[in-house]
Amino acid sequence: MATMRAVQVTRPNGSFEVVERRIPEAAEGSLRIQVQACGICHSDALTRQGTYPGMVHPRVPGHEVAGVVDAVGRGVTGWEPGQKVGVGWNGGYCGHCDPCRRGDFFACVTGQVTGITSDGGYADYLIAPASAVARLPADLAPAEAAPLMCAGLTTFNALRNSAARPGDVAAVLGLGGLGHLGVQYAAKMGFHAVAIARGKDKEPLARKLGASVYIDSQAQDPAAELLKLGGAKVILATATSGEAMSAVQGGLAVHGTLLVVGAAPTMQVSPVWLLAGCRSIKGWYSGTSIDIQDTLAFSARTGVRPMIETFPLERASEAFDRMMSGKARFRVVLTMGR
């Protein structure tokens, strides 16, 4: 029996266990992917805690997967072994439910999530429905490509679907795993990129990533500073602090949007400020496989790269703790040694 390494969580709040498992077969409609690297995302905590509705253990986490097609299941067209591919949070969609029929594939009623409703990328191999798989450019290293599957996709897709146009002020709140990518995308998309974070010490990094203005939210009022620039057409809120989001909303231009991708539990909203300027607050889901493909192609072409710390697969537990500590600069990636 051919086996592989996998890191699984056996029960809610259990530890990460490195186990030997049988290499799974590619089911009908699916691909088997040999994993080369898998990013560790904060949402992997849902797999560990078992708090995602309906999820069952044991489960292998991981939804920032970069690898190569290893086997193609029956009924799959357009894919062949050896192709460089990636898989993100969206674990596929049915194509025939009402949201899918409206083109909202991300909202498919089957609700498939990589590493939550099916085993993810903390392993040598995973099985993914063909609808969940993205093609990767040849010239991106797997460990650099992996964080773009979720952190990169989320920020790229949110910004490109915002109302901001080249030259408009696009502010990125937070300079962590998502934010350090968001600033790069905002600059490469031709926006007037503004980075907002806590502390003067982050300014050199923000500028290196492409921010033309840096706002230290500890020393300055971020809303007032944005209004000095004419107001932000979009503020991409990557921080997970509701207070930080509330503090920047006053910096929105007329028709500006606070675009929320950080999972803060609550935030204060000023209804009068919203209605007086036709401003809005909107959430953004990351995206599907074709959006990943666009994210990776754009990143390869424009030089957007994540800053990463890599750990071998066996050290997944340590790597996860490093991510949770908030000290990683900026995304933690597991590598499989191939």
If the CB atoms of residues 113 and 197 are measured against Zn ion, the closer one turns out to be 113
284 makes contact with Zn ion (CB under 5 A): no
> Does 107 interact with Zn ion (rule: CB under 5 A)?
no
Q: Applying CB under 5 A, does 113 fall inside the site for Zn ion? A: no
Give the nearest distance from C-beta 88 to Zn ion in angstroms. 7
What residues contact 177, with CB distance under 8 A and at least 6 apart? 41, 42, 147, 151, 306, 328, 330, 331
What is the distance between the alpha carbons of residues 164 and 193, in angstroms, rounded to a whole number?
Answer: 11
Q: How far is the CB of 190 from Zn ion (least distance, A)?
A: 26
Q: Quick check: 97 binds Zn ion (CB under 5 A)?
A: yes
- 93 in contact with Zn ion (CB under 5 A): yes
Mask 135-164, x = binds Zn ion (CB under 5 A)?
---------------x--------------
Stretch that binds Zn ion, among 70-78, 89-97, 196-204, 243-251 (CB under 5 A): 89-97
Find the part of the chain contacting Zn ion (CB under 5 A) among 19-27, 86-94, 113-121, 188-196: 86-94
- Count the alpha carbons within 13 Å of 112 in the hemisphere toward its beta carbon: 24
User: Looking at beta carbons only, is 248 or 332 nearer to Zn ion?
Assistant: 332
Residue number with CB closer to Zn ion (113 or 234):
113
Give the nearest distance from C-beta 70 to Zn ion in angstroms: 23
The pattern of x and - marking residues 234 through 263 that bind Zn ion according to CB under 5 A reads ------------------------------
- Binds Zn ion (CB under 5 A): choice among 46, 60, 65, 100: 100
* CB-nearer residue toward Zn ion: 110 or 310: 110
Q: How many residues bind Zn ion (CB under 5 A)?
A: 8
The residue whose two tokens read 């537990």 is 317
User: What's the CA gap between 265 and 7, in Å, rounded?
Assistant: 29
Residue 213 contacts Zn ion per CB under 5 A:
no
Site membership for Zn ion, residue 281 (CB under 5 A):
no
Report the nearest approach of Zn ion to the CB of residue 162 (Å).
20
Per rule CB under 5 A, is residue 226 in the interface with Zn ion? no
Find the part of the chain contacting Zn ion (CB under 5 A) among 46-54, 96-104, 187-195, 249-257. 96-104
x-or-dash string of contact with Zn ion, 9-48, rule CB under 5 A = --------------------------------x-x-----
Q: Do residues 242 and 170 make contact, with C-beta atoms less than 8 angstroms apart?
A: no
Q: How far apart are CA 47 and CA 59, in angstroms?
A: 7
DSSP strand pairing (30-40 vs 65-72): antiparallel
The residue ranges that bind Zn ion (CB under 5 A) are 41, 43, 93-94, 97, 100, 108, 150
